[in-house]
Amino acid sequence: MSTLISSRRHFLLSSAGLTCLADVNQAFAAPVKQTKEAPEGAASGVALAPPQKQPEKLKIPVKATKQLGWAIVGLGELALNEVLPAFAGCELSKPVALVSGHPDKARKVAEYYDIEQDAIYNYDNYDKLAEDKRVDIIYIILPNSMHAEYTIRGLKAGKHVLCEKPMSVSVEEAEKMVAAAKEADKKLMVAYRLHYEPFNLRAMEICRSGQLGKIRTFASTNGQNVQAPNIRLSAKLGGGPLGDVGVYSINAARYTIGEEPVEVFATAQQPKDDPRFREVPESVAFTMRYPSGVLAHCDCAFGMAESRFYEVNGTKGSLRMQPAFSYRGLRLHLREGDPKSNTAEDQELLLQAKNHFTEEMDHFSRVVLNDESCRTPGEMGLADMRIVKALERSIETGLPVKLEA
């Protein structure tokens, strides 16, 4: 039983005992004469009715004086089921435009979210967003193969861009995206939503603090069972498990270990008896080695029951996130102490969950409004693409691949 649970039980028992003792003392106490000025319950020393004056800590919602307008590019499952509903919780962000190749669907979505019909664009007139003063930020939610083109065009249109991960399908594309942002003097952020939600933020904090001691190993799995047809199964559209879900493990290793890998090795499985995997691997397993000697062991797959976790092991303790990469329901466990001396303690850290997309979008709006630096810039996406491409070279050659420092 964890210390947290034991402490809570002790507190409850102690509180109950003190309450009973207080009741006994009160029963034998001399009556206290109440005055008109005394609030109800003052005779017992406890005010029963709330004060007329509002408590100082009571937070009263205040509408933001400025909300930035967002254009959502691509109206697939992620946009419709997660991103657009998340605007309801935003303080600084609102949807004002849509870009889609399906006009009927776009009109229905626009009507539902009170988006003006003249703010519906398609991929042919996408560049006209430059003339739309309602739009401050573009959110690219397209197949991976289209990320670079529409990010660069959006930046050239004078808009800030949030691009879904993986950032691109090649290092060269990622480099061009970063260069385009600098040339346009606009912000480019990659949608690593886990950098904006409480559980992964706490994991980062624990690892940076040294609470686990020296980190020795990192392990992670991110897999799901993808059914055809699905863009994730198309090589032409930039599919495959490594870039799509493996990048979560790559990025989590970075923000827990705090280093960049110097060498990687990978192997892939592409079964011939499953037509889903004619073009992309079913699963990829890989290892990354870091300057301090830390080893990361990861795997990702599109043909397995859903499993999404990571574990960080140090000399003084370990932490485990499971699930780690899902949109909701994340759980974080911390283990510290020495099992041999009976000092080991396991505890689940209970945090207030938040909508990943709401937090992510308002962060970017705040960055744009205040001209700040974002937590997950294009350079981070570029760094991940260099690792992904090194892993792909390792699969092709069957050999470890070194990365430049």
Catalytic residue numbers, as ranges? 165, 248
User: Radius of gyration over alpha carbons of the chain, in Å?
Assistant: 26
- Decide if 221 contacts 308 (C-beta within 8 A): yes
Q: Residue 246 gets which letter from DSSP?
A: I
**How many other C-beta atoms can be found within 10 angstroms of the C-beta atom of residue 337?**
14
User: Nearest-CA neighbor of 168 among 390, 382, 360, 392?
Assistant: 382
Dist. CA 218–CA 310, nearest whole Å? 7
Given phi > 0 = left and psi -120 to 50 = alpha, else beta, which region is 216? alpha
Q: Which residues pair with 317 in a beta bridge?
A: 336
For 173-206, b/e burial (b = at least 16 CB within 10 A) is bbbbbbebbeebebbbbbbbbbbbbbbbbbbbeb
- Which helix (H) or strand (E) element contains residue 222? strand 215-225
Q: Which residue has the tokens 């991940």?
A: 384
